[in-house]
Structure 1
Amino acid sequence: MTQIDPTADLITLINVFTVDPAHQQELVDVLVSATEHHIRHREGFISANIHTSTDGTRVLNYAQWTDVAHFEAMLADPACRPHLAAAAALATYDPHLYTVTSTHHR
């Protein structure tokens, strides 16, 4: 389950894909398939959340991992590479790793 908590010892991948609106759903399908069939089964995986912009030009992947080493192991896994390449063929992307610093609630 996704934990947005500054005290949680996790890393967060936020990857913003810029996509032609005609390919937004195709990109979502690739990301969901990759996550369901390969990525979520990797050691260190916590959660993934796929968001779509209302204008169709962006897809955001908000994923959490126990640590950087497990995330990097997933990237290096030959079983994951075809899915990552399929996403890259549909959109440009800008991934970065984060830690939760602060949360605010009503």
Structure 2
Amino acid sequence: MPSTIEQNAPLATLINVFTVRPERQRELVDLLNRATEEVMITLPGFVSANIHASTDGTKVVNYAQWSDADAFQAMLANPVAQPHMQAAAEVAESYEPHLYAVDAVHVVDDI
């Protein structure tokens, strides 16, 4: 099922922006996809993840949804998830994870 972005949804939304050297972008995307497929989807409270690669090769964005902030915090403390997060941190030049609330959604219905 695809991710659903809704205003006032009772979810914790993680947006993590990674800065990466262009020659390592694919490595980071593959690592995040593997971590999601092998670990994150098995953790309580995981809802969805979307990995985006910038067209200039310098950014990777992980847009993930968790049932709530507590589920996200439990993932951070999970010893099975930690090696995957550490590996991503080592590939990236920097990263900025933050939890967000969806404030507005604008959609054109006829596309």
TM-score relative to the length of structure 1: 0.97
Count of residues in correspondence between the two structures: 106
| Deviant stretches of 4+, over 3 Å | none
What one-letter code is carried by the residue in structure 1 that aligns with 2:100? Y
Cα distance per residue 1:25-78 (max 9 Å; x no partner): 000111011100001111100000000000000000000001000001011010
Residues 28 and 88 of structure 2 are in contact (CA less than 8 Å); yes or no, is this contact kept in structure 1? yes
Query: Separation in 1 of the partners of 2:3 and 2:67?
Result: 11
Query: Separation in 1 of the partners of 2:48 and 2:84?
Result: 17
The aligned counterpart of 1:42 is 43
The aligned counterpart of 2:17 is 16
Whether 2:89 is the aligned partner of 1:88: answer yes
Residues 8 and 101 of structure 2 are in contact (CA less than 8 Å); yes or no, is this contact kept in structure 1? no
Runs (5+) with no aligned partner, structure 1: none
Moved more, 4-13 or 14-23: 4-13
Report the CA distance between 1:2 and its aligned residue. Answer: 1.2
Secondary structure of residue in 1 paired with 2:16: strand
Report the CA distance between 1:7 and its aligned residue. Answer: 3.1
The aligned counterpart of 2:70 is 69
Q: Percent of aligned pairs with the same residue?
A: 56
Query: Separation in 1 of the partners of 2:39 and 2:45?
Result: 13
TM-score relative to the length of structure 2: 0.93
Q: CA RMSD in A?
A: 0.7
The aligned counterpart of 2:106 is 104
Runs (5+) with no aligned partner, structure 2: none
